[in-house]
Amino acid sequence: MKKIQLTLLFVFSIFISIFAQGFVKEKQVIKSVLLNREVHYSIFLPSDYYTSERAYPVTYLLHGYGDADDGWIQFGEVNRLADDAIKAGKIPPMIIVTPDGFTSFYINAADGSFNYEDFFIKELIPHIEKTYKVKAEKRFRGIAGLSMGGYGSLLYALKYPNLFAAAAPLSAAVWTDKDIINLNENMFNGLFDNSMGKNLKGKDRLTAAWLSNSPLGLIEKKTLEELSSVRYWIDCGDDDFLTIGNAELHIALTKKNVPHEFRMKDGAHNWTYWRTGIIDALSFIGDSFHQK
C-alpha cells in the first residue's frame, strides 16, 4: 500500500511539474509621487512562486511605442513562452515585470514635466523588490525590451551599469546624430516632442536632452571597464527600419572592444519577430543569474 501511495505521489508530482503554469497579474498599480499619477505594470511569476520559500531573479521587459504594460502579455505571449522555456530548462525561473512606459522613451522629459526615468529607478524597482520575492542584487537583475523599450533597456544598462547584470534590446530605437537631424518632421514631433523638445529642426534637435540620452554618444564617452560591466544581447531583423542604427550600435561596441552578442536574422519590426526572439534574449539574461 505504501509503495502504491509513493508511486501515486510521484506520478502526481510529475503531472504538476508538466502542467503547472506561471501566474500573470495584469494592471497592477504603483502610485508614483514623482509622476503624480498611478502607473500600471503587469508581472509574470513562475509556477512555484507561491509554494517555494526562495527569492527569484527579475527581468524588466519594456514595451514599444504605442503599447502599454500588457503588450508583452497580450501580443508577445511572454507568459506562455517563458513557462515553456522554464519547463524545458532554457531559462531559469524568473520574475518578469512589464511596466507601462507610456510614450516616454523611458527617459525624463526635456521640460521636466514627466520624469519617467527617475520613476523607474527610484520608485518602480524598489516597489517590485519590496512587494515580491525578488533577489535585489545587480547579478540577479536583467532588462530587455523592444523598439522604444529596446532603447530604454539599452539606455538604462549604459546609464546604470551598477543595477543590471545583462541587457537584451530587441529592434532598439537607435539613431545617430545625423539620423536625428534628418528625421522627418512629423516623425520627430510624433515621437520626441515630449521627451526631447517640441518643433525642433535640423541641428537644433541635438539638445542636451538628446545628447545625454544617445546610446551611441554614451558608448563613445564611457570607458571599456564601465561598458564591460553589463552583458549585452543585441537583436534586430534584417528588414527592420532600425537595422542601420542597430548595426551602428554593434560597430560602436566593437570599436571599444566591448564583449557583446549581435544577432541580425530574417524579420521585420513586428511581433512575429519579437515572439521568436524573446526566449533567446531571456536565456542570455538568465545565464547571468547562474552561479559560476
pLDDT 10s digit of each residue in the chain, 292 long?
Answer: 555 555 544 443 444 445 578 999 999 999 999 999 999 999 999 999 999 999 999 999 999 999 999 999 999 999 999 999 999 999 999 999 999 999 999 999 988 999 999 999 999 999 999 999 999 999 999 999 999 999 999 999 999 999 999 999 999 999 999 999 998 888 888 888 777 877 889 998 998 889 999 999 999 999 999 999 999 999 999 999 999 999 999 999 999 999 999 999 999 999 999 999 999 999 999 999 987 6
C-alpha–C-alpha distance, residues 279 and 260, integer Å? 17
- Per the structure block, which three cell numbers stand in for 37? 499619477
Q: For residue 67, what is its C-alpha cell?
A: 503599447
Residue 101 contacts residue 124 (beta carbons within 8 Å): no
Instruction: Burial-class residue 175 by CB neighbours within 10 Å (0-12, 13-18, 19+).
Output: buried
Per-residue HEC secondary structure of 148-162 comes to HHHHHHHHHHHHCCC
Domain at 21-175+214-289, CATH from 1.10.287.3510, 3.40.50.1820, 3.40.640.10, 3.10.20.30: 3.40.50.1820
Measure the CA angle with vertex 159, ends 158 and 161; round to 5°.
Answer: 65
What values do phi and psi take at 143, rounded to 5? -145, 140
How is the chain split into domains, by residue range? 21-175+214-289
